[in-house]
Structure 1
């Protein structure tokens, strides 16, 4: 589990590069400010498409919902989530 979280974190840092050190990044024509990072313990799994075999990481949130982990550069549109779906 820690290996998956470490890999997911490394993927985010890699895609965001230097901007992450500044706590900001730009995507989809918008500038974003990132909150301070804090270590958390989460339930992490791998979702596999039964038809194509493609895989991606998922995190189970405290409220029971699941969230996909994807690199920012791999997303087509800007994500939008309800406040109670945020990792807190």
Structure 2
């Protein structure tokens, strides 16, 4: 099953699976990530003309004091359609 772009999910990995990025607050260029930008905009930072930020969920680990689970955001997949 393909994820929706912008979907956030927990994975027990220490690497970024293909099509996913670690939710670490990094800045992304709008031109290379137009679909994701159209969904989340500048809600998590960025200037809105050249870049935007993905959410920073590094401290939202549900297993406190461990690094076993991390949040990742889908940057490839299905574009969510409105009905």
Please give the TM-score of this superposition, normalised by the length of structure 1.
0.22
Bigger relative contact order, structure 1 or 2 (CA pairs below 8 A, ≥6 apart): 2
Please give the TM-score of this superposition, normalised by the length of structure 2.
0.23
User: Which is higher, the Rg of structure 1 or of structure 2?
Assistant: 1
Relative to total residues, which structure has the larger strand share, 1 or 2? 1
